């Protein structure tokens, strides 16, 4: 009898827990757009471009060192690679939160101010939902890089982008060939 009461109590506890969790999940508001700043006005086109999500602290020396190589690699690939920078102020970097707020404020005034201001922070410095614990931290097409936590040089970025950009180009070529082949068959 005691075992039966414990089973019923446990079942009731699990049911209430599931109900409570379901209620909590339903209350999470979905933002109208993702956070972050799109670099060079090239919004990420998932599936059409390689999308890099970089988490930077504007006063972090490692973030400062990581940005120039990433920027150079992205500019090399032009429209085939998109970057979204998420500001991630670390609690042990003095004034990181204030620096992030200033970048958000500048972006609201004029969206073209965000990156020049971020670069000025990098140039003149003396430095969790997705598992980001430090900066610099990178996601490529939604997948975290194993090298995150330290700056990547230009050659490393090229070795990451080359195979991915090749797959995108191959897909486009295959689609164009298939479409033109179907057109030829339809015209016969």
Token pair recorded at residue 52? 């890099």
pLDDT, position 33: 66
Q: Which pLDDT does position 8 carry in this prediction?
A: 64
**Residue stretches of the chain with pLDDT short of 50:** 24-25, 126-129, 174-175, 177-188
pLDDT confidence of residue 149: 72
Q: Is beta strand 137-140 parallel, antiparallel or unpaired with respect to 50-56? A: antiparallel
The pLDDT value given to residue 122: 77
Residues 150 and 60 sit within 8 Å (Cβ to Cβ) = no
Q: What is the pLDDT of residue 26?
A: 52
Question: In this predicted structure, what is the pLDDT of residue 186?
Answer: 44
CA distances from 126 to 89, 99, 145, 171 (A): 16, 13, 27, 45
E-assigned strand segments in the chain: 37-38, 50-56, 81-87, 137-140, 143-144
Domains and CATH numbers, the chain: 37-179 (3.40.30.10)
List the 37-38 sheet strands across, edge first: 37-38, 81-87, 50-56, 137-140, 143-144
Long-range contacts of the stretch 5-9 (C-beta < 8 A, 24+): none
Residue 76 is predicted with a pLDDT of: 93
Quote the strand ranges of 2-155, DSSP E. 37-38, 50-56, 81-87, 137-140, 143-144
DSSP codes, 159-175: HHHHHHHHHHHHHHHHH
Quote the pLDDT of residue 106.
84
């Amino acid at each position: 009898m005691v075992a039966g009461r414990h089973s019923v109590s446990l079942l009731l506890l699990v049911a209430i827990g599931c109900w409570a969790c379901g209620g909590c999940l339903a209350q999470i508001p979905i933002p109208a757009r993702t956070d972050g700043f799109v670099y060079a006005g090239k919004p990420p086109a998932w599936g059409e471009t390689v999308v890099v999500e970089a988490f930077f602290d504007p006063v972090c020396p490692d973030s400062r060192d990581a940005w120039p190589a990433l920027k150079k690699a992205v500019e090399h690939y032009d429209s085939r690679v998109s970057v979204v920078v998420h500001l991630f102020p670390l609690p042990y970097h003095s004034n990181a939160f204030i620096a992030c707020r200033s970048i958000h404020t500048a972006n609201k005034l004029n969206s073209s101010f965000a990156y020049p201001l971020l670069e000025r922070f990098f140039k003149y410095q003396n430095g969790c939902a997705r598992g980001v614990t430090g900066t610099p931290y990178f996601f490529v097409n939604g997948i975290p890089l194993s090298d995150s936590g330290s700056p990547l040089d230009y050659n490393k970025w090229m070795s990451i982008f080359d195979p991915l950009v090749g797959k995108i180009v191959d897909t486009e070529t295959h689609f164009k060939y298939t479409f033109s082949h179907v057109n030829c068959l339809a015209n016969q």
